[in-house]
Amino acid sequence: MLIGTATSAHQVEGNNKNSDWWHFEKSGKIPHRSGVGADSYNRYIEDIKIMKRLKLNAYRFSIEFARVMPSPNKVDLSAIEHYKKVFRELRKNGIEPIPTLWHYTLPMWFYKRGGFEKRENFSQFIDYVDALLKYGVLDANYVLTINEPVIYASKAFVSGRYPPFRKSLWAFNHILNNVLALHNEVYDVLKAYDYSVSFTNNVFYFKSDAVFYPATSLLDYIFNQKPFYRTRFDFMGINYYKTIDTLKFLTSRIIPSRKKNWYVSPQNLERIIEREYRIFKKPIMITENGIDTVDEKFRGKFIRENFQSVLNARRKKIPVIGYLHWSFIDNFEWNFGYERNYGILGFDPKTGRRIIKDSAFVLKDIAEKYGN
């Protein structure tokens, strides 16, 4: 079984200067700056050595579109070579690379052309994928095309917190359909090279009583099921963080409240796995699962309990092929900046020195017992 961690390029690499996020951080539209961050772009060898020390056998990371294609029709060969080195280093240390081709950030030039709102721009993203294939970057068995299409669409076009900072339900539906269509195009390209291909979807468990069942079903379809029904995939990439109380969620949309409408429930991960497998009959990879906390005992408990749900599902003969904890290291959490603590590692912001947390050894114990 694949046991490892996950990150995304903009959140850990640092100095992603050609991206839309960097532009809006600099202009102040986004309230936090990613800066050099964890500097994983330069410290990847050190990070991979820590993964090996922790006995992890898989690492999900993203390739940065804005680095590979910093301007239209131009491939940066130094970025290509960098990512090839990352794959080689992972392979050398017995760690399965699981690349994600797009995790929220766009090259600024691509953003200015309308990004994924315009389907005529898809060809330029396909050019990026073709470049990765042409130069032999993707030394992987599993490839993830896009990260969390519904979350991206809702943050960008419902809450307006992500670029392009708009609020429009029509635009939300439009961009979601576009991103799902893009996945299908990329899927067909990658299948010609025999990769096992999917995307990641953030799946919520919606808690409801009978009165709110219709609303719960609608939310479940929009957030959880629609992306899978509309796409082609070889396995299911599932990100799981929250159980949402439907009543509290709906009332919070009407009357803004600081009270949480969600809670953490590791047991519901098992229910999600069972349901998704029953519907789609595809192998499942837990591509993200994590908790924001500074309490390492709580994070360790969270990891153990969520992984127990994975084990319970596997004992029911459901093919769960991997568990990837979010995240490897504390990172830039988008509009929250560095205020969140998801990593099994921390780092000194002045020196970049890695700090291995107690919870890392909980994941190590799991990897030693179940990783193969």
d(CA 360, CA 236): 25
d(CA 240, CA 165): 25
Asked whether 268 and 243 are in contact (CB, 8 A), the reply is: yes
The CATH fold assigned to 2-370 is TIM Barrel (3.20.20)
| Length of the chain, in residues | 372
- For residue 32, how many other CB atoms are within 10 A of its CB? 14
Q: What pLDDT is recorded for position 256?
A: 62
Contacts of 123 (CB under 8 A, 6+ apart): none
* Predicted confidence pLDDT, tens digits, the chain (372 residues): 999 999 999 999 999 999 999 999 999 999 999 999 999 999 999 999 999 999 999 999 999 999 999 999 999 999 999 999 999 999 999 999 999 999 999 999 999 999 999 999 999 999 999 999 999 999 999 999 999 999 999 999 999 999 999 999 999 999 999 999 999 999 999 999 999 999 999 999 988 665 567 888 888 999 999 999 999 999 999 999 998 887 666 666 555 655 566 678 899 999 999 999 999 999 999 999 999 999 999 999 999 999 999 999 999 999 999 999 999 999 999 999 999 999 999 999 899 999 999 999 999 999 999 998
pTM: 0.95
* Residue 144 Cα distances to 18, 53, 334, angstroms: 22, 26, 20
